[in-house]
Amino acid sequence: MAHPLKHAQSSARKFGGRTEDYLPIHNWFDESKAFLADFRHWALRHHAEGIFLAEKLFGVAIVNSDGKQVPVRNVGEQHVKEDLGRIPTAQDWLLQIKPRRWMYGHYAALGIVTAMPSG
């Protein structure tokens, strides 16, 4: 799935209601495309913590146009699984970052960081 509209259509098929019921949640998951328009944008929200953050922002459940309560967590899990095939953790993404000297900030200058890559 590449577009929030497609995810929302999938949610409507899975949970009932209309596409528009789910579009705000799916738009939120993919907002990071605005500043990084390739797969790496997924690292910001497409993980377990991102799903729980969506629940905090949108509430535990939404009421769709059929009057049915749908857990936001289920909608988030559907979105991430459709994109990635599984739900990674934030740690899964963060461990892939290659550390650079500037990332250590002032700790490098203070000698607190002992093992540091060049760059």
pLDDT, tens digit, 9 for 90 and up, residues 35-64: 999 999 999 999 999 999 999 999 999 999
User: Can you tell me the distance from the alpha carbon of 97 to that of 49, in angstroms, rounded to the nearest whole number?
Assistant: 18
Q: Which two tokens stand for residue 100?
A: 């650079």
Cβ(1)–Cβ(82) under 8 Å? yes
| pLDDT tens digits along 69-97 | 999 999 999 999 999 999 999 999 999 99
pLDDT at 103: 82
| pLDDT over 70, % of the chain | 90
- Closest Cα partner for 80 from 117, 42, 52? 42
* Pairwise pLDDT comparison (14 vs 2), residue with the higher score: 14
